[in-house]
Structure 1
Amino acid sequence: MGTESKRQQRFAGVIQQDLAELLQREGKSWAPGAFITVTKVRVTPDLAIARVYLSFLNTKTAKEDLANIQSKTTEIRYKLGTRIKNQARIVPQLEFFLDDTNEYVEHMDKLFEEISKEPRQPD
């Protein structure tokens, strides 16, 4: 995948901001108890598909919460459309993915801690 154009980046930023506000307000019904963060949005060159990466905090059921949100994609797309109708000709199809970057970082931190606790071998 090549680099994104300024237009794609700007449009992705608009979608990210509006989706974040939407999920903050209404996400409690879709993922009870979870704090949802829109970590990244990637838009195809024709602006028809937006791949949205979500991070879930304060929950042990991130995959189930993601599935709930994926089942509400049509409703979320409609609500997003009402927000961005003056900024976009079409409302992109939304694809939601789990962003597990935080889990990966935590895993790596644990590994580095274990390595640092091991006795050092003399050279």
Structure 2
Amino acid sequence: MAKNSSPEGRAPSTRQLRVGELIRRTLSDALQRGDIHDPDLNRMSITVGEVRVTPDLQIATCFVLPLGGKGGDEAIAALKRNKYELRRLVGKVTKLKMTPDLRFLIDKTYDQMDATAAMFADARVQADLIKPDDTE
């Protein structure tokens, strides 16, 4: 099989993007309203930044971040403990034949954005970005 024909190399389909966004909104709403019967999870403020769904819609990887970025391990543990209740809520909303298995990871997007901003602020990088005036 050619490298470009593997599922890992393809861009997500429209259906994957729609299902991922629907799952993201469903989880965000459930966590915000406190629909899950777990006091540990309900006292945390968790942002669901993105949900990526596999091409066969069997697995949904949810990128989450607790408010302030602290307590990520506790948030992941609480979400994993309540995975089946969250999955049931997702199943009600998505109405898919099979509800995807939910996997939770810490969203590192904000850390990467901060690192990129710091890199662009570095004097050496600024010197590379500034080009001498071109005479035309």
| Partner Cα separation in structure 2 for residue 41 and residue 52 of structure 1 | 4
Shift of 1:96: 0.6
**1:1-123 alignment, distance < 5 Å:** 1=8, 2-26=10-34, 29-31=39-41, 33-58=43-68, 60-85=70-95, 88-109=96-117, 115=122
CA gap of 1:4–1:107, structure 2 versus 1, over 3 A, is: closer
Which structure 1 residue ranges, 5 or more long, are not aligned? Answer: none
- After TM superposition, the score normalised by the length of structure 1 is 0.76
Query: Amino acid of the residue matched to residue 90 of structure 2?
Result: L
Shift of 1:112: 6.0
CA contact 2:31–2:42 (8 Å) conserved in 1:
no
CA gap of 1:91–1:58, structure 2 versus 1, over 3 A, is: same
CA contact 2:19–2:94 (8 Å) conserved in 1:
no
* Larger deviation, residues 40-49 vs 30-39: 30-39
Shift of 1:58: 3.2
Higher relative contact order (Cα pairs below 8 Å, separated by 6+ residues): 1
CA gap of 1:82–1:97, structure 2 versus 1, over 3 A, is: same
Deviations 1:51-97 (A, max 9, x none): 11112113631211111111211111112222323xx2221110111
Identity over aligned pairs, percent:
31
SS at match of 2:84: helix
Shift of 1:13: 1.4
CA contact 2:28–2:47 (8 Å) conserved in 1:
yes
Shift of 1:105: 3.1
Q: Say how many residue pairs are matched.
A: 114
The structure having more radius of gyration, on CA atoms, is 2
CA contact 1:34–1:59 (8 Å) conserved in 2:
no
| Aligned-residue RMSD, C-alpha | 2.4
SS at match of 2:70: coil
